[in-house]
Amino acid sequence: MLHDIAHNPPMTNRKLRFAVQRVLTLLCSFLVSLLQTMQLRLLLCGCLALAAQAFVPVPAARSLQLSAQQPAISMTAATKATRTNRRRREYNKMYKSEMRTAIRKVLESSKAGDYSDAFPKLSTAMSIIDKNVKRGIVHKNTAARKKSQLTLKVKALESPAAPAEEAVEA
């Protein structure tokens, strides 16, 4: 029984602990004054030591008690901001890929030297680039630069006779 008292975790209420210690001290001092034999005195001192030890906080038990009260924060679920960022990243990735593909098709047509094939692809690429600016995926100045570069490459393919014919008609 006394062994169980010694290994119980310490009480948290300081006033209650002090009152119990005071009562035990008074009880033990009263019993010591009554008992004069040596064996009973040793038994009483052992009881007093075990009772006092029950109120001494054990460092390991104290840390376990604190960790039980305040669990460490470890979230396994993603926060809402993280989930939103993932969703938007996939969305942006899809439209950026579409834009790069359209630009690559225009560049391939212009390398092939086919103006009639490159011009409709240029129109499609410009539309996709403008939509990505509207979505906030590409900055407007970057989009303007890309469109300008593509236009220059496609206009270089235009036959030199076509501008001269337009000038003669005017």
Domain harbouring 117, CATH code: 1.20.58.110
pLDDT per residue as tens digits for the range 90-123: 999 999 999 999 999 999 999 999 999 999 999 9
pLDDT score at 103: 97
Is residue 100 a part of any domain in this protein? yes
Task: Specify whether 46 is located in the same domain as 88.
Answer: no
Task: Specify whether 53 is located in the same domain as 95.
Answer: no
Task: Specify whether 100 is located in the same domain as 135.
Answer: yes
- Is residue 87 classed as helix, strand or coil in its secondary structure? helix
Q: What domain range includes position 10? A: 2-59
Tell me if the pTM is above 0.75. Answer: no
The answer to whether residues 94 and 132 touch, using CB atoms and an 8 Å cutoff, is: no
Structure tokens at 37: 């034999």
pLDDT per residue as tens digits for the range 139-170: 999 999 999 999 999 999 987 655 555 555 65
Number of domains in the chain: 2
Is residue 72 a part of any domain in this protein? no
DSSP per residue over 35-52, as a string?
--SHHHHHHHHHHHHHHH
